[in-house]
C-alpha cells in the first residue's frame, strides 16, 4: 500500500496583512502532525455517527427504551410550558421599568428573573478617540490592551483531505 504524499510545507500568514510569518521555534508543527490530527477527528466523528445509529437500532425494538424516551419527551414538554409561564409572569416593559432582578424562593426551588442588560453604544470607536484626541482619551480612561490569544481553531476540509489520502 502506498503512503500518502507529504502535504505541502506549512506557511504561516498574518490574517490582517497577508504577510508570511516565520514559524515559532517553541513548537514545530508539521503537515504530518495536522494530517494525523485530521484523520483522528474524521475517524472520531464517523465512529460517533455509527454509534448513534447503532443505539437507535438497538432501541427501536426495546420496550423499556421506548418508555424512557416517552417520559423524556413528556418531561421536556412540561418543562417548556412552565418556563414559558415563568417568562410571561412579568412583562418585559415592567422588568425594564423596574431595572432590577426579581427572585421568588419556594424553598425547593428559586426562580430568578435577571436584571435587564444595559448596553452602551458609541458612534466613534475608542481606538479612534485615542488616536485623534489623546487628551480626551486619557480623561475618559480610554486605553487599549491586547488580551490573551485564543486557542487555535482547526478546520478540516474534507475534499482536500480526501485528495491527500488518495
Q: CB of 161 within 8 A of CB of 38?
A: yes
- Position 3 scores a pLDDT of 52
- Position 73 scores a pLDDT of 96
- Return the beta strands (E) in the chain as ranges: 12-13, 20-21, 102-105, 110-113
CA distances from 64 to 70, 71, 75, 77, 165 (A): 10, 11, 16, 20, 43
pLDDT along the chain (166 residues), means of 10: 53 78 71 88 95 92 92 97 91 89 90 90 90 92 88 86 84
- Position 5 scores a pLDDT of 55
Q: CB of 127 within 8 A of CB of 144?
A: yes
- pTM listed for this prediction: 0.52
Amino acid at each position: 500500500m502506498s503512503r500518502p504524499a507529504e502535504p505541502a510545507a506549512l506557511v504561516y500568514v498574518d490574517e490582517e496583512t497577508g504577510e508570511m510569518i516565520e514559524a515559532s521555534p517553541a513548537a514545530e508543527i508539521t503537515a504530518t502532525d495536522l494530517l494525523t490530527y485530521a484523520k483522528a477527528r474524521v475517524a472520531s466523528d464517523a465512529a460517533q455517527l455509527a454509534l448513534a445509529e447503532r443505539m437507535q437500532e438497538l432501541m427501536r425494538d426495546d420496550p423499556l427504551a421506548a418508555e424512557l424516551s416517552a417520559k423524556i419527551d413528556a418531561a421536556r414538554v412540561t418543562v417548556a410550558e412552565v418556563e414559558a409561564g415563568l417568562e410571561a409572569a412579568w412583562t418585559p416593559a415592567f422588568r425594564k421599568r423596574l431595572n432590577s432582578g426579581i427572585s421568588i424562593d419556594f424553598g425547593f426551588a428559586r426562580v430568578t428573573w435577571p436584571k435587564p442588560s444595559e448596553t452602551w453604544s458609541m458612534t466613534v470607536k475608542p481606538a479612534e478617540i485615542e488616536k485623534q484626541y489623546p487628551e480626551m482619551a486619557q480623561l475618559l480612561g480610554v486605553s487599549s490592551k491586547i488580551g490573551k490569544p485564543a486557542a487555535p481553531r482547526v478546520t478540516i476540509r474534507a475534499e482536500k483531505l480526501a485528495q491527500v489520502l488518495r
